[in-house]
Amino acid sequence: MGPSNSVPGDQVQLTIANGNEDGYFSTQKMSTGGVIAVQRPIMRPRDFLLTVEMKLLRYGTPSIYVARIRVFVTQDLSSHQNSLSQV
């Protein structure tokens, strides 16, 4: 997540404002914005609704952008695919 055009001097701060109560996700700052990443394994199927805020300071003017991101975690089916391909 980041501004569509970056300008030299932009200050960007990315935070997960809601939906990360169990601490599965983290934010990582990048040169032009930030990334939401999984920071620890999610061991069972779950659904998450993350509210992510990007605070941008450009030319001394603060702006806040909000995104709601739905994350659906499903069961790992890789072992099932291998057994099906051998049939």
Give the residue with greater pLDDT, 76 vs 35: 35
Q: What is the pLDDT of residues 10-64, one digit of tens each?
A: 888 999 999 999 999 999 988 777 899 999 999 999 999 999 999 999 999 999 9
pLDDT at 82: 56
Question: Stretch 69-73: mean pLDDT, rounded?
Answer: 96
Instruction: Please report the pLDDT score of residue 81 as a whole number.
Output: 60
Query: What's the pLDDT score for residue 75?
Result: 86
What secondary structure, in 3-state letters, does the chain show? CCCCCCCCCCEEEEEEEECCCCCCEEEEEECCEEEEEECCCCCCCEEEEEEEEEEEEECCEEEEEEEEEEEEECCCCHHHHHHHHCC
